Amino acid sequence: MQDDLLNTRQVAPSVLASDFARVGAQVEEVMTAGARVIHIDVMDGAFVPALSMGPQMVSALHDQVHDAGGWLDVHLMIERPERHVEAFAAAGADSISVHVEATPHIHYALKAVREADCKAGLALNPGTPTTAIDSLAGAFDLLLCMTVNPGWGGQPYIPGSEARIEDLRARIGSDVPLEVDGGIDVPTAGSAADAGATLFVAGSSIYGAEDVAAAYREIAAAAGA
């Protein structure tokens, strides 16, 4: 796939906020507007209260997204994610993020993602100390900093997340993609970018807008993408 995509600033629309009756058309809308990274939120009703979607959504979208030169970014909000990595990789995921809080075997889970030929993302909840990543240096390809508590779209960005983003950026150095997820809109994309984020998940601020393409472009401009 487009291996260098994550090394550029990107806004990743989240399918969770799209109209599930016409997901393909909604993905096409944002890709036509310029999006190349599509974010898929997987929830299991255990790590987070809600249920959302599984590998079937990745399979359903992978031809469309890859044919348009895009990237499928899968965010696993599930317990024991290592047990499901293979299924998401086989379905066509390009990157798979696993939560440090979701398994006692986080190093193994990240390794399983790489062994499945996907980029390995390490995700952190807002309440998790940033030092949690220190023993995992070199074991992940991207870092996902939650800027809301995971489990629902449409929540407000947690104020003060910039300090966390700056702290994480300092720990990983300048080359590792740093993804922010939750409550990203025009103002928060700008402040997260200033703090060091490079990949910006946006759900309701894009799909909740009347003009989806215009909303994507405004957030991309604010993020410097």
- Contact positions vs Zn ion (CB under 5 A): 41, 75, 181
- The catalytically annotated residue of 44, 73, 94, 181 is 181
Closer of 41 and 218 to Zn ion (Cβ): 41
204 binds, among Zn ion, ligand DX5, none (CB under 5 to 8 A by kind): ligand DX5
C-alpha angle 18-221-36 in degrees, rounded to nearest 5: 50
Closer of 41 and 185 to Zn ion (Cβ): 41
Which residues form the interface with ligand DX5 (CB under 6 A)? 14, 16-17, 39, 41, 75, 148, 150-155, 181-184, 201-205
Concatenating the DSSP letter of every residue in 38-69 gives EEEEEEBSSSSS-B---HHHHHHHHHHHHHTT
Closer of 56 and 149 to ligand DX5 (Cβ): 149
Q: Which residue(s) pair with 63 in the sheet?
A: none
Q: Using an 8 Å Cβ cutoff, are 196 and 168 in contact?
A: yes
Q: Is 211 a catalytic residue?
A: no
Least distance (Å) between residue 207 CB and ligand DX5: 8
154 binds, among ligand DX5, Zn ion, none (CB under 5 to 8 A by kind): ligand DX5
Which amino acid does the sequence have at 99? H
Least distance (Å) between residue 219 CB and Zn ion: 15
Closer of 18 and 103 to ligand DX5 (Cβ): 18
Least distance (Å) between residue 138 CB and ligand DX5: 25
94 CB neighbour count, 10 Å cutoff: 24
Greatest CA span in the chain, whole angstroms?
A: 44
C-alpha angle 214-219-221 in degrees, rounded to nearest 5: 95
Least distance (Å) between residue 170 CB and ligand DX5: 24
- 3 DSSP assignment: T
Least distance (Å) between residue 178 CB and ligand DX5: 15
64 CB neighbour count, 10 Å cutoff: 16
Q: Is 4 a catalytic residue?
A: no
Residue closest to Zn ion (Cβ): 75
Q: Using CA atoms, how far apart are residues 104 and 8, in angstroms rounded to an integer?
A: 32
- The catalytically annotated residue of 19, 41, 73, 211 is 41
16 binds, among ligand DX5, Zn ion, none (CB under 5 to 8 A by kind): ligand DX5
- 94 DSSP assignment: S
Q: Which residue(s) pair with 126 in the sheet?
A: none
The catalytic residues are 41, 181
